[in-house]
A = this chain, B = another copy of it.
Amino acid sequence: MTKPIIFIQGNYRAEFIEKIKASATEYRVKTTLIDEDLEFVEISVGWDKKNEQQLLALSPLKWVQAISAGVDYLPLKEFEKKGILLTNASGLHSISISEHVIGVILSYYRGLNTAQKNQLAHTWDTDDIHYDQLSGKNMLVIGTGHIGEKLAKSVVSLGVNPFGINTTGHTVDGFIETYSMKNLAKIIQTMDIVVGILPGTDDTFHIFNNDLFSQMKPSAIFINVGRGDTVHTRELTETLQNKTIAFAALDVFEAEPLPADSPLWELDNLLITPHISGLTKHFQTKLMQIFLPNLTSFVKDGSLAKNQVSLKKGY
């Protein structure tokens, strides 16, 4: 009988390919496919729009290991219909994204953005430097998954007070207090720093809009490292143009790359980063810490040990 295939999409190091082979001897491991392979692909590591239709139509897929935390770009309904299991890479980007968030906050609070603009113009100017103190600030983390929890724990020794928002308001390690989503508009009023780390779902679409921005302090700052479409871009643009809030940093956008004619490019009180907050050193090592235990478990009894995504919820 021809062995089923684990299809590895991407350039993984030989040591990891060997480990995968050793963990699943009844599978063949392939990093490229020829047409004859398609009918044997049961497991895919990574997912690419380029071969999505082909794999869905022709392969007996049983399990997809995504290499991202968010999975809204995957055909979740198709997976559900076909009984394809999905695991994500949640947790893998926690340190990177936490460090990114703290970095963009301090860049603003310590006047580094302005200093760098002045540096590019070879200008020594202290008059236009804005500065503030991070220590003592209230931070609201909206979305208290792996990343949110890591962020809350990372700011402890910086003297920040981390509060959390999640669907039900259940307690999460690292937060002083967590609230349910329905309390968001009230809680946000007392916050200095508001961080969005939400997955893209029907419930979170455009959740960051005027109704919320208008409740924030004029000195407050907003950071989004979740999904781009959780932000109502036009309303945030107006909010920043009117300086209703002081500053924002966006790493994700409704359209990526950010279109050349986007008014966001022109805003002085916005830091734009090109979806880089998750860039992670030792990415493969960290991904394999999720995939390999899952593979062992899957081969044994078809179950997955960690990071399984609810296809209904989308996270």
Contact = CB atoms under 8 A, between A and B. Distances in A.
B279 A134 contact: no
Interface string A98-133: 011011101101111101111110101110010111
A158 B101 CA distance: 12
Contact of A154 (B113, B131, B158, B277): B158
Given A115-B274, A115-B276, A119-B272, A281 B133 contact: yes
A84 interface: no
A103 B107 contact: yes
B157 A276 contact: no
Interface residues of A, number: 53
Quickly give the copy total for this chain: 2
B157 A124 contact: no
Nearest to A273: B115
A153 interface: yes
A104 B119 CA distance: 14
A305 interface: no
Given A131-B281, A271-B119, A102 B102 contact: yes
Interface of A: 95-96, 99-100, 102-104, 106-107, 109-113, 115-120, 122, 124-126, 129, 131-135, 153-159, 256-258, 260, 265, 271-277, 279-282
